[in-house]
Structures are given as C-alpha cells and as structure tokens.
Amino acid sequence: MKGFLLSLQSEFFKSRKTLGFWAAIIMPVLICTLVFFGMYSNVPKLIKMPGLSGMLMWRLYSGGILNVMGFLLPFFIILVAYSINSVEHKADTWKTLFSLPISKWAVYAAKYFYTMLMILLCLVLFLLLTIATGNLLGMLKPELKLADFHMEWALTQVYTKLFLASLGILSIQFLLSLVWSDFLKPMGIGFVCTVAGMISVGLQWDYAYLVPYSHPMMALSSMGLRNQRGQKMKLEFFVDLFTKDLYVGLAVGVVVFIAGYYIVQKKSVK
C-alpha cells in the first residue's frame, strides 16, 4: 500500500509538467468559458424563445457544455492514457520503475489509478464550472431566469455516469499505450473505435452497449425528464445511472486492467 501511494505521488510529480495533466484542467476551463460567452452574447435572441424557463435555459446551457465534452471525452482519455505512459517510454524508464524496491503490481496500479484521477479531475472541474458559470450567467443576465431552477444533482449524476462510462475505454487505451511506445497505434485504434462507437449509438444499434467506446455518448443521452414526486405539474431531470452499458463498461475496465498487469509481466522490459 505504501509503495502504491509513493508511486501515485511520483506520478503527480512527473506529470505535473506534461500536456496530459494540463489538458485535464485547460479543457474544462476553455470549454465552459467558450459556452459561457457564446450564451452571454446570444441573450437577446434567447429571451425571445417561446416558453422560456429556467429549466429550459439550464438544459440549453449545460447541454452546450455536455455535448462538446461528451464528444471530446474519448479523445481526452486516449490522450491522457498515452501521456502518462509516454513519460516512461520517452525516458526509457520502465526498467527503472520495475527494478525499484516496490512491487510491480503497486507501480502498475498506481499508474492506472493516476490516469483515472486525471479523468476524475477533468470531470469534477467540468461539473463545478458548469454550475459556477451557469449561476454567474444567471446573475449577470437575470432575464434568462437561470436562478429559478436548479439541476446540480442531475448534473452530478450525469458527470458521475460519464466518469464510470469512461473506465472501459481507459483500461483499453491504457494497455495499448503501455504496450506500444508510439502515439499512432493507440491513437489510431482509439480513434477508429470512438468513431465506430459514435456511429453505433447514432444508428441505435441494439448491441451498442457492448462497445465501451460508445458509453460516453450513451451516458449523455441517459438524462431524461420526469414529473417530480408528488407534484404532477413540476418536472425534474433524472439520470438512469445503472444501465447495462455501465455494467459492461465496468466489467471491461476491471478485466482489461487485471489482464494488462499480466501482459506487462510477460512482456520483457526493454
């Protein structure tokens, strides 16, 4: 356990000057800022919308952010998984890592969990910034009625679901980036699979839930509207968190993570 925590700390120390780490921070800040300004400059048009309500505005605002990031999430995972592993490939440090007086399992697991933490960091930032910039917009432009409605809980659920939906892809991309030192192979495979996942969701293929790369998009479409309990005329957003695609994603994530360790063990350290 100590070895695991020390390795985790070392991962932070090594990655804090890399693009992968900063992408996890810059991406949410950039996207939320852009959507914020897009919405802000579009206020005159928006307030002319029929049936304008705080709920509709929140849906519009958070949807603007979610759609962009849902599309980018698989690519972000590909990038982070590559970035964390390429630090070692570039420096030729696998042999050093695996000859430390720390178990190989702890070294491998710490690397994986650190990559997972990067994705978590990115999504938590997205969540906080969506809520913060949404409320800021409501304060600056009260006519959008954003202050009338709250969807923090629904957003927390969507981002939680997105996080869980990314674990299948993460395990696969992590392994690909661990085995191959170049960017093109994991990137190429990840890109093709992501596009295939998007198409399978777009065409509503029956077995799309079996493709981990389609899970983030499926997670996005899992948010629906329903009547609030006991109040027939009041609607609320809800997220169907535990769906079969989520279980498939988690299962793939766990299996590939464990298999990855044995593949690394078998693979001679060059």
Partner 1 sequence: MVIETNNLTFNFGNQTVVKSLSLQVPEGSIYGFLGPNGAGKTTTIKLLLNLLQTQSGDIKIFGLDYQHHRTQILKQVGSLIEQPAIYGHLTGRENLINRAQLLQIPHSRVDEMLDLVKLTNAAGKKASNYSLGMKQRLGIALAMLSDPKLLMLDEPTNGLDPNGIIEIRELLVRLVSEHKKTVFISSHLLAEIEKMATHVGIINFGELLFQGEIKELQSISQPMVLIETSSTVDAANLLTKNAIEVIEVKNESILVAFKSKENTAQINNLLNQNGYPVYSIHKVQKDLEKLFLDITKAPAR
Give contact residues for partner 1 (rule: CB under 8 A). 6-7, 9-10, 13-14, 17-18, 87, 90-93, 95-96, 98-103, 265, 268-269
Q: Work out how close the CB of 27 gets to partner 1 at its nearest, in angstroms, rounded to a whole number.
A: 20
For partner 1, which is the closer residue by CB, 88 or 245?
Answer: 88
CA angle 157, 256, 253 (to 5 degrees): 5
Q: Work out how close the CB of 168 gets to partner 1 at its nearest, in angstroms, rounded to a whole number.
A: 30
Phi, psi (rounded to 5 degrees) for 233 = -95, 0
Q: Work out how close the CB of 23 gets to partner 1 at its nearest, in angstroms, rounded to a whole number.
A: 15
For partner 1, which is the closer residue by CB, 3 or 54?
Answer: 3
Q: Work out how close the CB of 269 gets to partner 1 at its nearest, in angstroms, rounded to a whole number.
A: 4
Taking a C-beta distance cutoff of 8 angstroms, is the pair 29, 125 a contact?
yes
Taking a C-beta distance cutoff of 8 angstroms, is the pair 225, 237 a contact?
yes
Chain position carrying tokens 């929140």: 58
Q: Work out how close the CB of 12 gets to partner 1 at its nearest, in angstroms, rounded to a whole number.
A: 10
Position 255, amino acid: V
Nearest Cα to 216, choosing from 131, 123, 134, 128?
123
For partner 1, which is the closer residue by CB, 102 or 117?
Answer: 102
For partner 1, which is the closer residue by CB, 131 or 264?
Answer: 264
Coil/strand/helix, residue 237:
strand
Phi, psi (rounded to 5 degrees) for 227 = -70, 140
- CA quadruple 226, 45, 148, 157: dihedral positive or negative? positive
Q: Work out how close the CB of 112 gets to partner 1 at its nearest, in angstroms, rounded to a whole number.
A: 17
Nearest Cα to 162, choosing from 67, 81, 235, 252?
67
For partner 1, which is the closer residue by CB, 9 or 42?
Answer: 9
Q: Checking phi first, is residue 92 left (phi over 0); if not, alpha (psi -120 to 50) or beta?
A: left
For partner 1, which is the closer residue by CB, 14 or 150?
Answer: 14
Token pair belonging to 122: 């990115």
